[in-house]
């Protein structure tokens, strides 16, 4: 009886203290080996900036790879993104040249050849709806029709990637809204900024739903750009403006060169959003592993108690 009581006390102490199992009681966690980081999508993933062109190992992709290395998960970059890509051309081809015919087919071929792919990131969908912006007007019938098509194609793209890489983490970036900068163009520009907010919300909803539907994660770029903030701040050139407008001026080329793409600081915000998604997934995995170890520990203790 004394032995049984002592074993029970030991069991409670070890379980509440989060003990380490003795050698052989549970498999050791292997050290991370270099894997592949597959970057896909449009000009945000090619790292495009006006006057510089594409920079496929910079933009947000390079900082993400560096952040993965700091987290003990080194990766090799394979960037297949295409500036100007839409969901349609990603599936069917026609924008950039790929031996397999399209970016999606090239991605699937790369995943079939390389089973070490650890991370896939994707930016796609914004170029679909850009054609519905006509000068300072947004064509409402065009946007609704295009969004329906974009939602369906996003599901195809992400479903195909998940099928090809069931173990990889897929992170889909939502979008900031560069057209908030039109707020600076007077009353008409403010109407455009307001209209673009609805389009931006609908596009991001489609992106997020498709990502989670495929078991992926969302990188909330829109949060990093304070896209929904209604607070005000001051810019030296423009005076008192909404924070979300100031962020577009600060983090993109929109107010300096009328170009929607991020500058270096903006790309760093995109990278931080991706790494936040990676960290959130890693945290969930650690919780699951701790649960599995606790289950293993309980089994071991039950065996000890039975022997007692």
Contacts of 247 (CB under 8 A, 6+ apart): 176, 225, 226, 227, 229
Give the pLDDT mean for 116-130.
Answer: 97
Q: Please provide the size of the chain in residues.
A: 308
pLDDT at residue 3 greater than cutoff 50: no
- The pTM (predicted TM-score) of the whole model is 0.81
Q: Are 161 and 109 in contact (CB under 8 A)?
A: no
Give the β-pairing of 137-138 and 75-79.
unpaired
At 150-208, the pLDDT tens digits run 999 999 999 999 999 999 999 999 999 999 999 999 998 998 898 899 999 999 999 99
pLDDT band, residue 29 (cuts 50/70/90): very low
- 97: region left, alpha or beta (phi > 0 left; psi from -120 to 50 alpha): beta
Q: How do the domains of the chain map onto residue ranges?
A: 34-225+263-284
Q: At what angle do helices 103-113 and 140-164 cross, to 10 degrees?
A: 20
pLDDT band, residue 303 (cuts 50/70/90): low
For the chain, give the mean pLDDT: 85
- 125-139: b or e for each residue (b if 16 or more CB lie within 10 Å)? bbbbbeebbeeeebe
119 versus 236: the higher-pLDDT residue is 119
Query: Which CATH fold topology does 34-225+263-284 show?
Result: Rossmann fold (3.40.50)
pLDDT at residue 134 greater than cutoff 70: yes
pLDDT above 90 covers a percentage of the chain that reads 72
226 versus 281: the higher-pLDDT residue is 226
pLDDT at residue 213 greater than cutoff 50: yes
Tokens standing for residue 305: 């108690």
């Amino acid at each position: 009886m004394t032995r049984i009581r002592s074993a029970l006390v030991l069991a409670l102490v070890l379980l509440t203290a989060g003990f380490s199992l003795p050698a052989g009681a549970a498999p050791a966690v292997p050290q991370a080996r270099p894997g592949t980081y597959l970057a896909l999508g449009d000009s945000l993933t090619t790292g495009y900036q006006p006057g510089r062109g594409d920079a496929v190992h910079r933009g947000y992709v390079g900082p993400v790879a560096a952040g993965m290395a700091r987290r003990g998960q080194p990766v090799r970059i394979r960037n297949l993104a295409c500036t100007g890509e839409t969901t349609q051309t990603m599936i069917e081809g026609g924008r950039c040249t790929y031996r397999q015919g399209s970016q999606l087919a090239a991605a699937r071929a790369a995943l079939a050849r390389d089973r070490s792919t650890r991370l896939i990131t994707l930016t796609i969908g914004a170029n679909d709806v850009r054609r519905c912006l006509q000068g300072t007007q947004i064509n409402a019938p065009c946007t609704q029709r295009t969004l329906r098509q974009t939602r369906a194609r996003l599901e195809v793209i992400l479903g195909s990637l998940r099928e090809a890489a069931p173990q990889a983490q897929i992170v889909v970036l939502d979008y900031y809204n560069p057209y908030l900068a039109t707020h600076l163009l007077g009353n008409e520009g403010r109407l455009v900024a307001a209209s673009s907010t609805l389009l931006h919300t609908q596009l991001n909803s489609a992106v997020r739903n498709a990502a989670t539907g495929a078991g992926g994660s969302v990188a909330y770029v829109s949060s990093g750009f304070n896209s929904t903030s209604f607070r005000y701040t001051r810019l030296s050139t423009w005076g008192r403006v909404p924070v979300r407008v100031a962020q577009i001026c600060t983090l993109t080329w929109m107010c300096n060169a009328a170009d929607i793409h991020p500058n270096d600081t903006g790309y760093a915000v995109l990278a931080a959003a991706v790494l936040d998604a990676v960290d959130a997934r890693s945290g969930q995995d650690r919780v699951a592993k701790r649960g599995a170890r606790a289950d293993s520990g309980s089994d071991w203790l039950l065996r000890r108690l039975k022997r007692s």
